Amino acid sequence: MKPTQALHESGQSLWLDNITRKMLDEGTLTEYVDELSVTGLTSNPTIFEKAIAGGDVYDTQIQELLGSGVDVDDGDVFFALAIDDLRRAADEFAQVHERSAHLDGFVSLEVSPEFAYDTAKTVAQAAALHHQVERPNVYIKIPGTPEGLPAIEETIYAGIPVNVTLLFSSQQHLAAADAYMRGLERRIAVGLPPDVPSVASLFMSRWDRAVAETAPAELVNRLGLAIGRRAYRGYVELLASPRVMRLMNAGARPQRLLWASTGTKDPSASDTLYVEGLAAPFTVNTMPDTTLLAYADHGAPVQSMPADGGDAEEVLADFAKAGIDVDAIAAQLQREGAEAFVASWTSLLATIESKRSALAGAS
């Protein structure tokens, strides 16, 4: 049995943190589904920018959009390209979606950061994007920043599946879970079905990169997994809470915890560090191609994280003794993540504008 299949059978969903039209055209995604137990995928502006800039596979559609007679800006072009790709990917996972009773088999599309501080516009765009994709197995990604939490609640209340992104700590994860549950509770209060799925994406590898220059040698590459174990303990406790049980009794499903940014950044560390260390049932691990292929090739046997977090608090106490403030780093990482989201979006639009100009000149 391949390590990826064993991980899947242990109760964790393996998702791909990538999408390109070339991958769809050449059957690579189908291969991952059939041979590596992949049951969903995530996307972001950086992934699409690399795909659009990296070749001519999108050129024909861009030219068609420019020649349609409809005034489209660079953002409109991006969403048209992304939605076409994600529809195809969603169809690839349709059987998984049905087989899992609509728990798994999702793809994700991110809202524009232009509306990051405007709840009403974020909610409106989330609804519009979900309607445009026209697939039931699509998550709309909304940042779990303080400004994003009201939009998450409203979007869930509207019945739209949400992937909460840019979470870096157990505290931030639990705040996102609270926003999700508020949306469900409001639906129940007015007689609407509460079966609106969601995942909460906790970013892992950036922790170890953030302290690479300051952590003592014995603690190098141990912070991310300790943060993950603390978050998993909080997650398990949340799942067993009366609040979640009441929601489940009304027909809801708990929001699943998703491990994001699980590609190893340190070349001296194991390339499967954040796959092997974050194995746990009723969670998702979304990983880049290189990490997925590495784990399929030489992943260690599955050992699920202990429900009580294992040695997480002991390791985090060692970081505190070394003068490393994890709460401050969590806030910093979320702030930097939000800024990087804006920068990535700006770069994406510039790439599309450059591509448009080149195609217009060629024609």
Tell me the catalytic residues.
141
| DSSP per-residue codes, 271-314 | TTHHHHTT--TTEEEEE-HHHHHHHHHHPPPP-PPPTT-TTHHH
CB 272 within 8 A of CB 290: no
Cβ neighbors of 318 (< 8 A, separation 6 or more) are: 216, 219
CB 258 within 8 A of CB 201: yes
Please count the CA atoms within 13 angstroms of the CA of 346 that sit on its side-chain side.
6
Cβ neighbors of 186 (< 8 A, separation 6 or more) are: 153, 157
Q: Two tokens at 59?
A: 């050129």
Which residue from 337, 324, 301 is spatially nearest to 222, judged by alpha carbons? 324
Q: What angle do CA 72, 83, 164 make, to 5 degrees?
A: 110
The rounded distance, in Å, linking the Cα atoms of 128 and 57 is 26
What distances in angstroms separate CA 188 from CA 61, 74, 78, 86, 241, one per listed residue?
43, 39, 36, 30, 18
CB 325 within 8 A of CB 207: no
* Phi, psi angles (nearest 5°) of residue 75: -65, -40
Q: Two tokens at 95?
A: 């059987």
Please count the CA atoms within 13 angstroms of the CA of 227 that sit on its side-chain side.
32
